[in-house]
Structure 1
Amino acid sequence: MDIKPIRTEQDYMETLEEINGLMTAEYGTPEGDRLDVLTTLVEAWERDHYPMEAPDPIDAIKFVMEQRGLDAKDLVPMIGRANRVYEVLNRKRPLTLNMIRRLHKDLGIPAESLLAA
């Protein structure tokens, strides 16, 4: 398996092109192994060269709610009474550490996203 580091934008683009050709490779095959290694290299390159900021905590909560078909009453166990949920969603009340822990545990929202403010 001849694999080299991604050092330039050109290397990055060539690697993406190769990954595109390997997308149908099956797991456990030489092509699948190559795809796995190349995607790891691309992820490292993108993390260093195209960093993404964590989303706004309230936007992250609303995104998860939309994706899962949840409404405000579904957040009561994690945030508190319904009026408190609406205060948080309308940015009138900040998230507490306990709310962050529960949202992370129950909804799987990354704690980093919930702590960003």
Structure 2
Amino acid sequence: MHYRNLRYAVDEILEITGDDESHPLTSLVEIISDWIAEWDRTHHPMAEASGEEVLGYMMREHGLTQSDLPGVGTQSVVSDILNGKRKLNLRQVRWLADHFKVPVDMFI
């Protein structure tokens, strides 16, 4: 079955089932969704982001500057991390995970 057809099938089944998770077709949606996800992983793999890249993204998303992250270090330390001159250490990773309320492994 083609990817486009699978997406169409899920949409059609969801039109039938609505929010009823006990509907008999709900398990079919889960199966087809797993196939779609596997196709996406195979054909469009996501590149792994480094902790330093994630930090830069999170800073942009939250409108933060280098001086807004005292738990990471001074502005120059944050700058070195963002520019690839330094790696995040475990203490910094823990602080960032707590600060952004995300799992630690986002920065590892």
TM-score, length of structure 1 as denominator length: 0.63
* CA contact 2:93–2:107 (8 Å) conserved in 1: yes
Name stretches of at least 5 consecutive residues in structure 1 with no aligned partner.
Answer: 1-9
Residue matched to 1:70: 64
- Trace 1:23-34 onto structure 2 (pairs within 5 A): 25-28=18-21, 30=23, 33=26, 34=28
Residue matched to 2:4: 13
Name stretches of at least 5 consecutive residues in structure 2 with no aligned partner.
Answer: none
Seq. identity, %: 20
CA RMSD across the alignment: 2.9
Higher relative contact order (CA 8 A, sep 6+): 1
Cα distance between partner residues in 2 of 1:22 and 1:70: 43
Using the TM superposition, name which of 38-47 and 92-101 deviates more: 38-47
TM-score, length of structure 2 as denominator length: 0.67
User: Counterpart of 1:76 in 2: which secondary structure?
Assistant: coil
Residue matched to 2:79: 86
Residue matched to 2:44: 50
Q: Which deviations, in whole Å up to 9, do the C-alpha atoms of 1:47-102 show, x marking residues without a partner?
A: 3443322123322212111222222222222x122221122122222211222232
* CA contact 1:12–1:42 (8 Å) conserved in 2: yes
Q: Which deviations, in whole Å up to 9, do the C-alpha atoms of 1:12-48 show, x marking residues without a partner?
A: 3321122233555325252882434432332234334
Residue matched to 1:61: 55
